[in-house]
């Protein structure tokens, strides 16, 4: 199967906001706000090909044929906890989306993903699902999340991340060549602790002010 496609959303607004997020002197409040805003902008691109259906409506002047989203509502699947930061902005854009929370943490020694929570809509198998994981570093958590959703029967999957490391993209490609990725940037590399360089540090800590 061919490699999963990667789209870098390099709009000037995204690049500007991401630079402010990377800056170590940026406050928790600003970081959180920008994560939400970039969440909307990434979501806008990741949903560009959503199916539409014709609808008859009446404007103040005349009847016309408009368009509305077709099919079942989207599911956003944030990986706890940092996925929640992008989720807010994605829900700003698609407020009727359903949410499937996935609790996964990286074992600090092995960097392997361990699941501790999974709560999804019952009919998730019939829906399009966008997994949200801000930092595609080793990609262990994103790989595990997509595996978990495939186990639940989901066939139509996408991944939205804020930053990706080339190593993370390669790992994710190998595991899930059928799941396209949207990211605001692809950084240089991973360091020995599995952090993205230059990156922005620990996304969860910066989002919630826990360090
Ligand atoms: N998770 C983070 O929050 N930051 C990284 O750089 C890598 C993983």
Best residue among 171, 202, 206 to mutate for probing ligand 1, ranked by most atoms within 8 Å of CB: 202
> Residue 184 is part of a domain; what is its CATH number?
3.40.50.2020
pLDDT-derived band at 4, boundaries 50, 70, 90? confident
Q: 200, 210, 163, 207: which is closest to 30 by C-alpha?
A: 207
Average pLDDT over residues 46-58: 97
Q: Residues forming the annotated binding site for uracil?
A: 196, 201-203
The answer as to whether 1 is a domain residue is no
User: How much is the pLDDT for 108?
Assistant: 76
pLDDT tens for 112-148 read 788 999 999 999 999 999 999 999 999 999 999 999 9
Query: Residue 209 region, left (φ>0) first, then alpha (ψ -120 to 50), else beta?
Result: left
User: How much is the pLDDT for 111?
Assistant: 72
The answer as to whether 62 is a domain residue is no
Q: CA 36, 39, 41, 44 torsion: positive or negative?
A: negative
The answer as to whether 60 is a domain residue is no
Pick the residue whose CA is nearest to atom 3 on ligand 1. Answer: 202
User: How much is the pLDDT for 148?
Assistant: 96
The answer as to whether 211 is a domain residue is no
β-pairing verdict for 98-99 and 163-164:
unpaired
Domain holding 19, by residue range, is 6-48+74-205
C-alpha radius of gyration, the chain, whole number: 18
CB atoms within 10 A of CB 40: 16
Phi, psi of 177 (to 5 degrees): -65, -10
Distances (CA, A) of 69 to 35, 74, 98: 26, 10, 15
206 annotated active-site: no
pLDDT tens for 145-165 read 999 999 999 999 999 999 999
Spacing, Cα 56 to ligand 1 middle (Å): 47
Strand partners, 140: none
pLDDT-derived band at 110, boundaries 50, 70, 90? confident
Average pLDDT taken over every residue of the chain = 95
The answer as to whether 87 is a domain residue is yes
Q: Residues forming the annotated binding site?
A: 81, 106, 133-141, 196, 201-203
**Percent of the chain at pLDDT exceeding 90:** 91
The answer as to whether 25 is a domain residue is yes
What is the rounded CA–CA span in Å between residue 202 and residue 197?
11
Give how many domains the chain has, as a whole number. Answer: 1
Q: Residue 1: pLDDT above 60?
A: no
pLDDT-derived band at 2, boundaries 50, 70, 90? low
126 in Cβ contact with 120 (< 8 Å) = no
205 annotated active-site: yes
162 in Cβ contact with 134 (< 8 Å) = yes
Pick the residue whose CA is nearest to atom 4 on ligand 1. Answer: 202
Average pLDDT over residues 42-46: 98
pLDDT tens for 170-180 read 999 999 999 99
pLDDT-derived band at 109, boundaries 50, 70, 90? confident
């Amino acid at each position: 199967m061919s490699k999963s496609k990667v789209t870098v959303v390099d709009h000037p607004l995204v690049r500007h906001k991401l630079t402010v997020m990377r800056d170590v002197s940026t406050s928790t409040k600003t970081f959180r706000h920008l994560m939400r805003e970039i969440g909307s902008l990434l979501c806008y691109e990741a949903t560009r090909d959503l199916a539409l259906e014709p609808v008859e409506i009446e404007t103040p002047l005349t009847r016309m044929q408009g368009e509305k989203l077709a099919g079942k509502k989207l599911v956003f699947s944030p990986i706890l906890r940092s996925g929640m930061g992008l989720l807010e902005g994605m829900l700003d854009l698609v407020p009727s989306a359903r949410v499937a929370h996935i609790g996964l943490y990286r074992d600090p020694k092995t960097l392997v993903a361990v699941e501790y929570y999974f709560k999804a809509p019952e009919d998730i198998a019939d829906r399009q699902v966008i997994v949200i994981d801000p930092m595609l570093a080793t990609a262990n958590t994103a790989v595990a999340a997509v595996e978990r959703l495939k186990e639940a029967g989901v066939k139509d999957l996408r991944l939205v991340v804020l930053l990706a490391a080339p190593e993370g993209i390669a790992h994710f490609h190998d595991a899930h060549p059928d799941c396209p990725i949207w990211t605001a940037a692809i950084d240089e590399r991973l360091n020995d602790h599995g952090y993205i360089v230059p990156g922005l540090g620990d996304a969860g800590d910066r989002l919630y002010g826990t360090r």
